[in-house]
Structure 1
């Protein structure tokens, strides 16, 4: 299913890792399935045995190769998630030497173990014929004092094989800890208290931009300094009227979003966004990181549930000739081992099934899983499903719309308060700007206004009317509606004589 995906196939490192993990599951499950039938027929306690020594070696080769490749590729997958989320490594960069080394390790180490066991004659059947794996012939011949026909050094090989599995498990836990710690660090950083914090941050950013823009006129020292000062001052004032509502995500956040969405298919969608839906909303880096962590944890959980009991059972059989204490692990591993690949398929298709359920409300998970599998592992388009547009009924989203309206109203009130505060700042700066343009300070000294307690804005506009006159005001392109709202456009003086005045 992974290899035959219609759009991606094995194009991404994530798909190639999952493909390698799936092949490992197939090898091990196939070896487990064939072992009871390919065991030597001479075994009296093996009622289903139909094979011989060579056929048992074939089944044992599959078991050893698959058992060694599964933890290797599970570690590989968790390591890949950590590199993509924590270190922001792109798929193109990871697909170079780094991925090649991991794939070479995931292939050569299992094949090397299986080939070495085969060449030393350590692959034999258990006495009851349940599994062809690391064993001696006759079984436990070293402890019973009998002569071993095959597998004299199987205990040493079993310990080496088990120690390798334990080392891979330790590395897996270390990588998982690093990945989990990073994701929850992101979660902690995103917990910003109180809605006033973003408001204060926006106000401080605007004030900082204004102060930086006010420094520009002082940097000009040529003959046209006064003209550029007026232009820069007007630009700095006009720039203050632009209220920033939405925060733009950083480049690291955008990279994390595109990384997880592309590789893990957490938000994979072949369908264009429908009108009235929320499909255009990009998930936050926090949500994507948590989804990637959950996906990795599911793969690790499947590995621990299905394969660790078998490894424990093999180690106990190698260290203790009396395998009664490992019988529980034998039943556990024999029951769950063949279903490991099925669980990996369920985990792999889980994000896509959730996406399809979001596109088609009311669709059950089982139906979504069948549709994804039949579509080659991809989310089928709404056109393929015979659906033109999918919109949730009003009764279903009524509560959500009500909550959205309340939140929208609260945001509007906050932004309006910011706008009113900014209008006052703009008027203060506009007053200073206009005073420098028309020489209002010298006129105020000559006229000696009678009412000294008059408001500053009234004094400013009164002197402006008496000094400039109606004819000059007509040449001013500043709209009165804009002045009243505190939002100054890119107005300029049309008359050169008025500008010089």
Structure 2
């Protein structure tokens, strides 16, 4: 029967706690993707991460329940309180999740390679190609788990009852020479299951190599050696004088046509900008989440780089206004970001499955893995942390963006803010932070900063502001009109002065004006004040000056 495994009880407790954290982390990713207002499950990237997170939830749940659902007949299982059927249920979850996680990891790396190397759009990838991958990632693991369940291969895989997996009952019945009650060929099935996992791992390495080779080939193409830059020959003095004379002769002609050329240049610039915008994919919602991982459409990158080449070929130097605009990441930068994100998911997969790979190798070398305290603690602390690693990788680009917006913010604080905000990067206004201008900003950069701040952080509506300004101006004009009418009615000295200077004094004296009477254009038709301003109800400062100089 053997002896109890030393340290089994605390190792099981630690594994259960880590499995709960992993389940919580993967469930948080699922919640963030489902509730994301912009993309949700509309992009292939979000659907792949969703499938990877669901797979980890299934695997972590099996790891959590397995020590407690193991058969209570096991003599050295400290927490075993189940039976054969409960152990089969926990083992079914473990086998399904263990097969689905590497499948979706390979799926994710393959998708990155298709987007970057072969320039496949999300719309095109969402067709038959993505459906085949999802069907394989679901039916393959379920097929393995169902076959093992029907053949009776799911049993407790160690004396401590830490995990229900592919094993015979009793454990190691063939090696000990005892009779096997069930699962006699479980080791053969476990070898086939391991061979399938090894095949997925080899495919993952091949796809990763192709992806990495392509990214570094792009970096090599974008790097121009210093020796390859042609040196400009010094121009002769005669040639320089000729160029200066030609420039002086054409100065007047250029000054006359500069207005037309600037107008044409502005039209061409707007046309080129419209072409560049239209060359990008139409469905921005499917690429919103992918842009946070550094993955953009290749057509959009090519068009923007092509537009820069056209401008540089005509002007030989970019305009100064370009320096004020935000820098657009190049194809090289975007490809490296996508590669780094894919590498992080692969590293998380390798860390998670490394104990199992080492155990297979040691068992092949006839090493007693069951009595090793190191292997027990290694598998108990590494196996259940897949979800924790995935959420750290998934939120990494968004945390970096938030740290860029808020300098000095610790990464753990940025992670908490992103998670509490549903996986989105909150604006500075939502955080209650007022953006500060750097002291090194020039006047032009400061104006651009103000415009960007008003539009993005204060949610400034220009139409509402213009409407409020017009209403205020109208109230001011009405107040001026009221003061104008009262000045006519209340100041007798000015009225007497006007009557002495006006030849039509008798016509004006025929009217009796009352404070309580409503003064209209018809009542003031004999006065020299233009009634057009009163009828329209609008009068400004310049119009008031004209009236005063003409009639008063």
Q: Which interval holds the TM-score relative to the shorter structure?
A: 0.5 to 0.7
Q: Is the 8 A contact 1:74 1:299 kept in 2?
A: yes
Q: Is the 8 A contact 1:21 1:70 kept in 2?
A: yes
Structure 2: distance between partners of 1:144 and 1:321: 15
Structure 2: distance between partners of 1:81 and 1:121: 39
1:297 corresponds to 2:369: no
Aligned pair partner of 1:181 in 213, 236, 254: 213
1:14 maps to 45
1:464 maps to none
Aligned pair partner of 1:160 in 182, 188, 192: 192
1:148 maps to 180
Q: Secondary structure at the match of 1:383?
A: helix
Aligned residues: 352
Alignment of 1:66-77 (within 5 A): 66-77=97-108
Structure 1: distance between partners of 2:215 and 2:138: 30
2:235 maps to none
Unpaired runs of 5+ residues, structure 1, are 201-233, 269-275, 402-501
Q: Is the 8 A contact 2:56 2:101 kept in 1?
A: yes
Q: Is the 8 A contact 1:60 1:123 kept in 2?
A: yes
1:308 maps to 354
Deviations 1:256-282 (A, max 9, x none): xx89765151369xxxxxxx9977321
1:391 corresponds to 2:446: no
Aligned pair partner of 2:151 in 120, 127, 130: 120
Q: Secondary structure at the match of 1:133?
A: strand
Aligned pair partner of 1:104 in 135, 140, 161: 135
Structure 1 residue 301, shift from structure 2 partner: 0.6
1:358 corresponds to 2:407: no
Structure 1 residue 379, shift from structure 2 partner: 1.1
Structure 1: distance between partners of 2:111 and 2:335: 13
1:333 corresponds to 2:379: yes
Alignment of 1:210-359 (within 5 A): 262-266=289-293, 280-314=326-360, 317=363, 320=366, 322-324=368-370, 328-359=374-405
Structure 1 residue 375, shift from structure 2 partner: 1.4
Structure 1 residue 393, shift from structure 2 partner: 3.7
Deviations 1:218-276 (A, max 9, x none): xxxxxxxxxxxxxxxx9xxx89x98x99x99999x977xx89765151369xxxxxxx9
1:3 maps to 34
Structure 1: distance between partners of 2:325 and 2:168: 60
Q: Is the 8 A contact 1:158 1:315 kept in 2?
A: no
Q: Is the 8 A contact 1:306 1:340 kept in 2?
A: yes
Structure 1 residue 391, shift from structure 2 partner: 3.4
| Deviating more after overlay: 121-130 vs 341-350 | 121-130
2:501 maps to none
Change (3 A) 1:5 1:153: same
Superposition TM-score, scaled by structure 2 size: 0.58
2:166 maps to 134
Structure 2: distance between partners of 1:369 and 1:301: 20
Structure 1 residue 143, shift from structure 2 partner: 2.0
Q: Is the 8 A contact 1:264 1:292 kept in 2?
A: no
Aligned pair partner of 2:413 in 356, 363, 367: 367
Structure 2: distance between partners of 1:132 and 1:350: 34
Q: Is the 8 A contact 2:294 2:337 kept in 1?
A: no
Q: Secondary structure at the match of 2:51?
A: helix
Q: What root-mean-square deviation, in Å, do the aligned CA atoms of Structure 1 and Structure 2 show?
A: 3.7
Structure 2: distance between partners of 1:366 and 1:158: 41
Superposition TM-score, scaled by structure 1 size: 0.63
2:495 maps to none
Structure 1: distance between partners of 2:418 and 2:41: 17
Q: Is the 8 A contact 1:17 1:77 kept in 2?
A: yes
Change (3 A) 1:77 1:278: farther
Structure 1: distance between partners of 2:366 and 2:375: 14
Change (3 A) 1:315 1:2: farther
Q: Secondary structure at the match of 2:428?
A: coil
Q: Is the 8 A contact 1:143 1:321 kept in 2?
A: no
Structure 2: distance between partners of 1:320 and 1:114: 27
Structure 1 residue 324, shift from structure 2 partner: 4.8
Deviations 1:309-335 (A, max 9, x none): 224425655885843587644432221
Change (3 A) 1:326 1:69: farther
Q: Secondary structure at the match of 1:353?
A: helix
Aligned pair partner of 1:40 in 59, 62, 71: 71
Structure 1: distance between partners of 2:50 and 2:325: 29
Structure 1: distance between partners of 2:83 and 2:194: 27
Aligned pair partner of 1:54 in 63, 85, 104: 85
Q: Secondary structure at the match of 2:337?
A: helix
Q: Is the 8 A contact 2:294 2:338 kept in 1?
A: no
Structure 2: distance between partners of 1:54 and 1:320: 31
Structure 2: distance between partners of 1:277 and 1:342: 40
Unpaired runs of 5+ residues, structure 2, are 1-31, 233-256, 296-321, 446-552
Regions of 4+ moved over 6 Å: 247-251, 258-261, 276-279
Deviations 1:55-107 (A, max 9, x none): 11111111111111111111000000000000110001101100000001111
